[in-house]
């Protein structure tokens, strides 16, 4: 199923395929567990992801292939729409192989939900977000949602969210955020403490300005 033939041959039946569905209330994709929280009905069809919260959407044992990802989001400003991140961890890895705003994952990089379709992604009526990109895994796969803070900074144009569409910056993962922030200030840079975001498991992020005024985001993910 990972060779792409399923795209061109929708009538092909694979008798060895064991199809499962992972949801908020059934992240393991276990059989018969999709409606367990409300007597067989959808007891948790949606969830509000708070700032700094990390929610496991799917945690599956391998081998297998994720063939369809479907999501929907309530209307919001572009900076809020891009503040929910999708991260994918393959085969027990500690670092995500995919880390991207959810709308970007479905092909809408501007934070505005509009109708769109391609060979592998579709946004039906601007509300139903679908990805058919095959995601094969060997030992397992974990898909998480991360609620990201909308930080702001002072500039000559007033306060602007740092992740607003069109504001480009660099982002680096670092081992010791506090030490690096001190070194940046010692070299004439600026740390923007109002942009600090703290997530679960000790993960932290902050925006800085280098001596030339270039915005650099630093993200600290402690070793497990």
Q: What is the pLDDT of residues 8-55, one digit of tens each?
A: 566 777 787 888 888 888 888 888 777 666 666 666 777 788 887 889
Tell me which of 77-81, 89-93, 148-152 is least confident.
148-152
Mean pLDDT, the chain, whole residue set:
81
Which residues make Cβ contacts (< 8 Å) with residue 129, sequence separation at least 6? Answer: 70, 71, 72, 73, 102, 103, 106, 113, 123
Return the CATH number of 152-220, one of 3.30.2000.10, 1.10.10.10, 3.20.20.140, 3.10.180.10: 3.10.180.10
pLDDT value at position 142?
A: 95
Return the CATH number of 5-147, one of 3.20.110.10, 2.160.10.10, 2.40.37.10, 2.60.120.1390: 2.60.120.1390
Q: What are phi and psi of 146, to 5 degrees?
A: -130, 120
For the whole model, what pTM was predicted? Answer: 0.63
> Cα-Cα-Cα-Cα dihedral of 63, 1, 105, 70, to 10°?
-90
Domain ranges of the chain: 5-147, 152-220
Residue recorded with tokens 């999709």: 34
Long-range contacts of the stretch 78-81 (C-beta < 8 A, 24+)? 78/110, 78/111, 78/112, 78/164, 78/165, 79/111, 79/150, 79/161, 79/163, 79/164, 79/165, 80/150, 81/111, 81/112, 81/113
Q: What is the pLDDT of residues 52-90, one digit of tens each?
A: 788 999 999 989 999 999 999 888 888 888 888 999 999
């Amino acid at each position: 199923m990972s060779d792409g033939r399923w795209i061109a041959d929708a009538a092909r039946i694979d008798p060895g395929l064991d199809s499962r569905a992972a949801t908020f209330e059934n992240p393991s994709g276990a059989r018969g567990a999709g409606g367990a929280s409300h007597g067989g009905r959808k007891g948790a069809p949606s969830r509000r992801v708070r700032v700094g919260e990390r929610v496991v959407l799917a945690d599956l044992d391998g081998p297998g292939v994720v063939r369809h990802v479907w999501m929907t989001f309530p209307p919001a400003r572009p900076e809020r729409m891009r503040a929910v991140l999708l991260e994918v961890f393959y085969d027990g890895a500690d670092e995500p192989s995919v880390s991207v705003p959810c709308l970007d994952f479905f092909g809408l990089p501007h934070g505005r939900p509009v109708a769109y379709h391609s060979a592998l992604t579709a946004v039906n009526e601007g509300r139903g977000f679908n990805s058919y990109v095959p995601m094969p895994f060997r030992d397992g796969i974990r898909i998480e949602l991360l609620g990201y803070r909308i930080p702001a900074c002072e500039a000559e144009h007033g306060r602007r969210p740092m992740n607003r569409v069109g504001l480009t910056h660099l982002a680096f993962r670092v081992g010791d955020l506090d030490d690096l922030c001190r070194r940046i200030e010692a070299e004439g840079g600026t740390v923007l403490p109002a942009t600090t975001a703290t997530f679960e498991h000790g993960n932290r992020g902050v925006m800085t300005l280098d001596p030339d005024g270039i915005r650099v985001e630093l993200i600290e993910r402690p070793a497990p």
